[in-house]
Amino acid sequence: MAKTEKQKRWHSISMPKQKPKDRIRNFNEVALGYTMEQAVAEAERCLQCPKPQCIQGCPVDLDIPAFIKEIKEKNFDAAIKKVKEKNSLPAICGRVCPQETQCQKFCIVGKKGDPLSIGRLERFIADYELQKGVTVPPRSNSPVSGKVAIVGSGPAGLTAAADLAKLGHEVVIFEALHTPGGVLMYGIPEFRLPKKTVQAEVDYVKKLGVDVKTDHMIGRLYTIDELFEREFDAVFIGTGAGLPRFMRIPGENLGGIYSANEFLIRVNLMKAYMFPEYDTPIRVGKKVAVIGGGNVAMDSARSALRLGAEEVWIVYRRSREELPARLEEVENAEEEGIKFKFLTTPVKFLGDETGWVTGMECIAMQLGEPDESGRRRPIPIEGSEFVMDVDTVIIAIGQTPNPIIQRTTKGLKTTKWGTIVVNDKTGKTTRKRVYAGGDVVSGAATVISAMGAGKKAARSIHRYLLRKKRLQQRKKS
Amino acid sequence: MYEVLEKLELAPKIKLIEIKAPEIAKKAKAGQFVILRMDEKGERIPLTLVEWNPEKGMITIIFQEVGVSTLKLGALEIGEVILDVAGPLGNPSDIENFGSVAVVCGGVGTAAAYPIAKALKEAGNKVISIVGARTEELLILEDEMKKISDEMFISTDDGSKGHKGFVSDVLKMLIEKGYHFDLAYAIGPPVMMRATANVTKSYSIKTIVSLNSIMVDGMGMCGACRVTVGGETKFACLDGPEFDAHIVNFDELIKRLRAYLSEEKQAIELYEKCGGCKCG
């Protein structure tokens, strides 16, 4: 039965996806994106609220109704221009932002039916431009050009760099790895965020005039103080949360046990899924256990499946309700045949005489009272130990910031978790002219919150440079 | 892009290359390493810095051709380039005047030991070096080590030069003869480092080893290089590469180093089958 116009309003247009049975055999992108017709039809669902609520859910203040209106009216060039006023990485955000807990959570249409698919529309319009050829806005002829060093080229660094470059500053990004993009390149898999998309958006930031220096690990090659000696006026630290956490239980250093970081770096950054055409190997056995329940755990599990594992388990110490991963990713994983073992945690890894993992001793958990995070605390059930036979384990229980810069920078205040302390409003650290944002401040969070932090710091840095210039002029006159 | 400026074969399958890397050359210190990536499809491999010249903007590395990456590196000619060289990485050696230091090294580990021995000598230490190899033709940096050592001893497994046996045996002999050591460095294959650590432990001589764990990023991100030291998990790239030899779990290290042997073999077979092009 055909839907009436009225009924249509409440149902979002679903996005085409690769079928599960096909996609578990390849690393190509799972979600295929809207066609032009689908995008326009979805945009037509927008109420164009006089007081739009969606914007408050966006860490980068995207003017959501305005760009959707342009899509609805098929003014695609105007739509992407609107998006790029606030967001330099829309093809990335359209794919990996948790819109359901941000903009879409506030959508008025969502009160009665499906909220507008803001993320899918953002992705559509960004891909439209990438396909057509990117327009680079003219550089501002700001008289306050300063020189800013950005440490790390992940979402926070790229955003801060793009905003500062647009304001007319000279910006240099220092990236420790051989490729810019940070977690977008090494962490998030190809099937969720194609690397050519990341490259295209990094290229856009470069076209804004940003100089990207790869193979430069700040803290080792240059300290923050040495950057100031190299005549930078300000430094932004956006080094992310790159240090993997381990369980600290017996047998954890057996072969076949990876941190999710190692597993994903081998697969995504080094393209181990194309070994031996590419030189970096990876070994995945028949039965894989992924410990943890976040997006990184889902990414690891789904990658393991694509690398030929017969059985992949997500082992999570709380229950389904507490899974921190995006619902969409949990559903994707389930469709692909990933199995879940809830209320379970390993207590010991078992290995053979060659030092390879053969199993893990687990204990069942029950949920107690809520802890500081507001989620119910898992409590081990005594005597419930059992052994799971596995030949590969991926530990995805979180990351903390890399400590090198913190160790080599005097006067930079950090927390007991190793994150950098900043002023919430400005992104200023306890060191003069040093700003920070993203996971290195918040601990592992989302791409978009890191971008929001990069934006905020860029604004503060710009204000600082303006002030500095004024002072200099006053001295001269 | 990092240009190869000089290339020498020191022994069969052991090569030295000098690379143009001015920023690294200015910052490098004894004990640090670089991560190299040959080309777009290449893996990231850690190699210890052997020498660096800030004036000429040049660094020196020595490596043994054991896998596809080192074979590719060894096949480079002067004037050709390496896609990525990141560094200096790892913590520099703690160099001060300790008194009398034994520098015990074996195989290609001698290349990693040389800059440390040199820095120790420059800091005023008495340096007694013990350099080993399987056989005479695999001995490297003999003259260089001799120049910076107060005394030098050589051992080969087959007795083709110097003492017949292991470097750890020579060290034990010296201690028994009455040599006094305030500190020992042991750098080489893990089995050799373990044997040396066992000797010095029984004489309570503080000993440092430089570990050559498998690494991917070399910057603290992957944890592939994790090693148990004093019952705690440490990252060789971030916390090391040097550790107290007496509390390193060498058995675990040796097992972890074997993780990818079959993949390495598969890659080499493919590489050799079609002369390095890997077209399959």
pLDDT digit string, tens, across residues A387-429: 999 999 999 999 999 999 999 999 999 999 999 999 999 999 9
Q: 3-state DSSP call for residue A273?
A: helix
pLDDT of residue A143 exceeding 70, the answer is no
Residue B143 Cα distances to B135, B146, B152, angstroms: 17, 5, 10
Give the pLDDT confidence score for residue A146 in this predicted structure.
92
What band does A169 get if pLDDT is binned at 50, 70 and 90? very high
Contacts of A402 in chain B (CB under 8 A): 219-221, 238
Determine the Cα–Cα distance for residues A439 and A159; give it in Å rounded to an integer.
14
Band the pLDDT of B271: cuts 50, 70, 90.
confident
User: Which tokens go with B266?
Assistant: 């598969």
Contact: B219, A402; criterion CB under 8 Å: yes
**Mean pLDDT along residues A306-313:** 96
What pLDDT score was predicted for residue B277? 55
- A184-235 tens-digit pLDDT: 999 999 999 999 999 999 999 999 999 999 999 999 999 999 999 999 999 9
CA distance to partner chain B, nearest, from residue A350 (Å): 14
Q: Tokens 């977690």: give the residue.
A: A183
Q: Is the pLDDT of residue A1 over 50?
A: no
Mean pLDDT is lowest, of A135-149, B188-202, B204-218, for A135-149
| Residue B42 contacts A where some CB pair is shorter than 8 Å | yes
Task: Report yes or no: A142 and A168 within 8 Å, Cβ to Cβ.
Answer: yes
Contacts of A255 in chain B (CB under 8 A): 255-256, 258-259
Of A186, A253, A270, the CB nearest to B252: A253
- Which chain B residue is nearest to residue A399, measuring alpha carbons? B221
Name the pLDDT band for B276 (thresholds 50, 70, 90).
low
pLDDT of residue A476: 77
Q: How far apart are CA A427 and CA B163, in angstroms?
A: 63
How many other CB atoms are there within 10 angstroms of residue A471's CB atom?
A: 10
Cβ contact (<8 Å) for B258 and A355?
yes
Q: How far is CA A80 from CA A14, A132, A178, B104, B108, in A?
A: 21, 12, 30, 64, 56
Please report the sign of the dihedral spanned by the C-alpha atoms of residue B59, residue B64, residue B69, residue B74.
positive
Give this prediction's pTM. Answer: 0.94
Structure confidence at residue A374 as a pLDDT band (50, 70, 90): confident
Yes or no, beta carbons of A242 and B219 under 8 Å apart: yes
pLDDT band at B278 (very low <50, low <70, confident <90, very high): very low
Contact with chain A for residue B37, Cβ under 8 A: yes
Smallest CA–CA distance, residue A392 to chain B, in Å, is 12
B263 at A interface, C-beta within 8 A: yes
B270 — pLDDT class (breaks 50, 70, 90): confident
Question: Searching chain B, which residue's CA lies closest to the CA of residue A215?
Answer: B86
Tokens linked to A421? 């302390």
Would the pLDDT of A43 be above 60? Answer: yes
For residue A314, list its beta bridge partners.
A290, A340
Q: How is residue A246 annotated by DSSP?
A: -
Sorting pLDDT into bands at 50, 70 and 90, what band is B262? Answer: confident
Give the tens place of pLDDT for each residue, B226-241.
999 999 999 999 999 9
B252 touches chain A (CB under 8 A): yes
Query: Nearest CA to A133 among A71, A76, A212?
Result: A76
Q: Is B219–A216 a contact, with Cβ atoms under 8 angstroms apart? A: no
Q: Which helix H or strand E contains A130, and what residues bound it?
A: helix A118-132
- Confidence class for position B265, pLDDT limits 50, 70, 90: confident
A49-82 pLDDT tens trace = 999 999 999 998 999 999 999 999 999 999 999 9
Residue listed under structure tokens 């031996």: A276
| Model confidence band, residue B263 (pLDDT cutoffs 50, 70, 90) | confident
Min Cα–Cα distance to chain A from B205, Å? 28
Task: State chain A's mean pLDDT as an integer.
Answer: 94
Q: Helix count (H) and strand count (E) of chain A?
A: 18, 16
**Mean pLDDT, rounded, of chain B:** 94
Q: How far is CA A271 from CA A265, A277, A280, A315, A400, in A?
A: 8, 9, 7, 26, 24
C-alpha to C-alpha distance for A52 and A40, rounded to whole angstroms: 19
Q: Which two tokens stand for residue A63?
A: 């003017």
Q: Which of B222, B256, B278 sits opposite A265 (nearest CB)?
A: B222
- pLDDT score, position A144: 66
Mean pLDDT value of segment B94-116: 96
pLDDT-derived band at A6, boundaries 50, 70, 90: low
Residue type, A118: I
Predicted local distance difference test score (pLDDT) of residue A4: 65
The alpha carbon of residue B108 is apart from the nearest alpha carbon of chain A, in Å, by 22
Q: What's the ipTM? A: 0.93
Per-residue 3-state assignment (H helix, E strand, C coil) for chain B: CEEEEEEEEEECCEEEEEEECHHHHHHCCCCCEEEEECCCCCCEEEEEEEEEECCCCEEEEEEECCCHHHHHHHHCCCCCEECEEEEEECCCCCCCCCCEEEEEEECCHHHHHHHHHHHHHHCCCEEEEEEEECCHHHCCCHHHHHHHCCEEEEEECCCCCCEECCHHHHHHHHHHHCCCCCEEEEECCHHHHHHHHHHHHHCCCCEEEECCCCCCCCCCCCCCCEEEECCEEEECCCCCCEEEHHHECHHHHHHHHCCCHHHHHHHHHHHHHCCCCCCC
Cβ-Cβ contacts under 8 Å for A178 (sequence gap 6 or more): A214, A215, B37, B44, B83, B84, B86
Q: Residue A354: closest CA among chain B residues belongs to which residue?
A: B255
Q: Is the model's pLDDT at A142 over the cut of 80?
A: no
Has residue B275 got a pLDDT over 70? no
Gap between the Cα atoms of A174 and A159, Å rounded: 14
Determine the average pLDDT of the residues in A305-314: 97
Residue of A nearest to B2 (CA): A215
Of chain B, the percentage scoring pLDDT greater than 90 comes to 90
Whether B222 sits inside 8 A of A217 (CB atoms) is no
Contacts of A403 in chain B (CB under 8 A): 220, 238
Q: What pLDDT, in 10s, does the model give residues A235-289?
A: 999 999 999 999 999 999 999 999 999 999 999 999 999 999 999 999 999 999 9
Phi, psi of A340, rounded to the nearest 5 degrees: -120, 135
What is the mean predicted confidence (pLDDT) over B246-272? Answer: 89
> Helix, strand, coil % (nearest 5) of chain A?
40, 20, 45
Residue A1 CA: distances (Å) to CA of A30, B103, B205? 29, 84, 86
Nearest to B224 among A177, A248, A262 (CB): A262
